[in-house]
């Protein structure tokens, strides 16, 4: 695992940012853009994924970082669940769903990998390397 000195260098944060961009793009089109409840909820969940990685990194230690990563991973799962609602409503194609669901899975998996690394690393303070 590489050393990172700011949250923007964390691969999981970068992947979460891709997820946010994709979610905003798909929710801004067609009927999905008019389903304000689902649109806003999936947007919030995607932003939560990205934000919790950053917020956890900025906290004081590994234990808190892992806690925030756990929240971020949960939010990525929430995005994927909401994608099922959206595809069932016909807001986008099955192929678009597959691409977005894969991105949500990849994000969650990267967060899980970072959590596992931090748990086994023995790092106590705020030096993540």
Q: 71-129 pLDDT, tens per residue?
A: 999 999 999 999 999 999 999 999 999 999 999 999 999 999 999 999 998 776 665 55
What span, in angstroms and rounded, lies between the C-alpha atoms of 59 and 44? 21
Does the predicted TM-score (pTM) go above 0.85? Answer: yes
| Mean pLDDT for all residues in the chain | 94
Host domain of residue 62: 8-121
What span, in angstroms and rounded, lies between the C-alpha atoms of 118 and 115? 5
Does residue 57 belong to any structural domain of this protein? yes
The pLDDT score that the predictor gives to residue 42 is 98
What span, in angstroms and rounded, lies between the C-alpha atoms of 123 and 121? 5
Does residue 72 belong to any structural domain of this protein? yes
User: Are 78 and 45 contacting, i.e. CB atoms less than 8 angstroms apart?
Assistant: yes
Residues whose CB is less than 8 angstroms from the CB of residue 9 and which lie 6 or more positions away in sequence, other chains included = 2
Does residue 3 belong to any structural domain of this protein? no
User: Are 64 and 123 contacting, i.e. CB atoms less than 8 angstroms apart?
Assistant: no
Does residue 1 belong to any structural domain of this protein? no
- The CATH number of whichever domain residue 92 belongs to comes to 1.20.1440.60
What is the count of structural domains for the chain?
Answer: 1
The pLDDT score that the predictor gives to residue 61 is 87
Does residue 59 belong to any structural domain of this protein? yes
Does residue 2 belong to any structural domain of this protein? no
Does residue 127 belong to any structural domain of this protein? no
Res. 1 pLDDT band, cuts 50 70 90: very low
Does residue 63 belong to any structural domain of this protein? yes
Q: What is the pLDDT of residues 113-126, one digit of tens each?
A: 999 999 998 776 66
């Amino acid at each position: 695992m590489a050393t990172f000195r700011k949250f923007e260098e964390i691969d999981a944060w970068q992947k979460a940012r891709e997820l946010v961009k994709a979610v905003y793009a798909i929710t801004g089109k067609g009927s999905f853009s008019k389903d304000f409840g689902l649109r806003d909820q999936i947007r919030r969940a995607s932003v939560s994924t990205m934000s919790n990685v950053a917020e956890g990194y900025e906290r004081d230690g590994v234990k808190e970082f892992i806690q925030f990563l756990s929240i971020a991973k949960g939010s990525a799962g929430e995005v994927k669940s909401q994608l099922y609602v959206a595809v069932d409503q016909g807001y986008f194609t099955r192929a678009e769903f597959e691409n977005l669901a894969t991105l949500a899975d990849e994000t969650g998996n990267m967060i899980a990998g970072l959590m596992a690394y931090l748990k086994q690393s023995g790092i106590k303070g705020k030096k993540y390397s």
